[in-house]
Every structure is written in C-alpha cells, then in structure tokens.
Amino acid sequence: MGTVIAVTSGKGGTGKTSITGGVAGALALMGRRVLCIDMDVGLRNLDIALGLSDRALMDFSDVALGRCPLNRAAVDHPTLPGLSLLTAPMALPAGLTADKVRALLATARTGYDYILIDAPAGLGPGFRLALCGADRALVVATSDATSLRDAQRTVEELDGLRQVHLIMNRIQPKLLRRLRATIDDAMNAAGLPLLGVVPEDPHVILCANLGQPLISRGRRGAAQACWNIALRLEGRQVPVMRIR
C-alpha cells in the first residue's frame, strides 16, 4: 500500500510546490511509482514544476466525484517513468467531501508507492481537505520570521499525524552561519525533526520556465537536496547537505 504525504506550509511563497516536484521526481528516478496530487485549488502550479504544463484535462475532483477513473485522469510524465500528476480544479466543487477524498486516496494507494499532495498554504478548508487522508506531513518553511511562525501554527493543526517533518527551503549560503541558530530555533519551537535543508537555487525558476522538472538538472543545488530528502523518506540515513 502506498504512503500519502502532504507537503504543506503556513504561508505562501516558501517553495512548497518546487519541493513537491523535486522530491517526486527523485523518487521516480529511484524506481518508485509516484502520484503527485495538486490540491492547491485555484492556484495550481505543480504541473509547471513537473514540466507538465496544461497537459492534464481532468482533475482530482473529477476522480473523487466519480466522473473519471484515476487511471484516465492521472497524466504520466513523458521523461520520468513512474511519475504521474493529478491536477487541481480551478474552484472547489460542491459535493467534494473529506470522505470522497479519502476514497480517492485509498484507490491511489493500490497503484502507487507514494502519493505526494501539494497542499494549499494557510489553514482553510482546502488545507483540511488536503490533509484528511495523509499518513505524514512535510512542513516547508524559509528563514523568514513570519514563515517560521506560520509553520509553528501549521504544526498545531497536524496533531493527528504521527510523522511530521520540517524542511528549510531557500537557504542562502552567505547567511548560513547566522541561520544555523534560526533553524535550531525553528525545530525547537515547532517540535519537528529536520528532514532537509534546501539551498536558494536559480535553477528552480529556470527549470519551471523551461518546462523541465528540477531533478533533470542533475544532482546539485536544490535538486541534490530533494534527492537527499527522497532518500530519507525511503528510510536511508543521509547527512544534511552542506550549503556553501
């Protein structure tokens, strides 16, 4: 049975979507069957991060509401075998309930090793819907004080999950010495173990603009950090990436 992982953040702009796409691509390259579900209704961008811009015709609500089977709605990646995307609708349709989302995820578990959900930022109805069937959560934050505070608030809403980890994203090398204390403070305040540190990397935006998945740039920078996170999700012990 597949594992459902929600990737979330307290506020927008933390790079949550790029982390979702990068980790999903790494897991696929490891030979895992991965389904990405964009649940950021109305603000979907996971297709861009994966290099699948506008290829999806059906969305997760079509599957959850019984309008289309999962195997027809999910779009397979052309260059990363084993990686598929189920995109989000532009608006939350009436009749979409937590039970129907859980049923969708139950079906996905039978066909995929990992289901990664790109959850909407904030703590509204969309956030709760994205988390309703998750087994574990990854909370993405930056070194910005408001991001760390919002991450701590997000953790308070994840009490039902046994595994919740912190990912610090967009870390700048020149500030790393000062940020070590910030990261430690964030871990202590949020009460979360650290799953990964991802550097600020211009290739994230470059890949999105070129319609290429981040992991296609090789193992360096943010792509290497996402690869390390994927290895840790697989149960491997990997040192935290050194950021220079």
Q: Which two tokens stand for residue 111?
A: 């066909």
Edge-to-edge, what's the strand order for the sheet holding 163-171? 75-76, 83-86, 34-38, 114-118, 3-8, 136-141, 163-171, 194-199
3-state helix, strand, coil in the chain (%, to 5): 45, 20, 40
In a domain, 90, yes or no: yes
Q: Which two tokens stand for residue 160?
A: 């039902």
- Cα angle 89, 91, 95; round to 5: 90
In a domain, 120, yes or no: yes
Classify burial at 135, counting beta carbons within 10 Å of its beta carbon; exposed 0-12, middle 13-18, buried 19 or more.
middle
In a domain, 243, yes or no: no
Say what the pLDDT of residue 192 is. 76
Total domain count for the chain? Answer: 1
CATH (domain of 100): 3.40.50.300
Q: Per DSSP, which regions of 77-210 are E strands?
A: 83-86, 114-118, 136-141, 163-171, 194-199
Domain that holds residue 195: 3-233
173 Cβ neighbours under 8 A, 6+ residues apart: 199, 200, 243, 244
pTM above 0.85, yes or no: yes
Say what the pLDDT of residue 146 is. 86
Say what the pLDDT of residue 40 is. 94
CB atoms within 10 A of CB 93: 14
What stretches in the chain show pLDDT beneath 50? none
Q: Is 193 left (phi over 0), alpha (psi -120 to 50) or beta?
A: beta
pLDDT tens, residue by residue, 121-171:
888 889 999 999 999 999 999 888 788 888 888 888 887 888 999 999 998
By C-alpha distance, which of 113, 117, 132, 118 is closest to 233?
Answer: 113
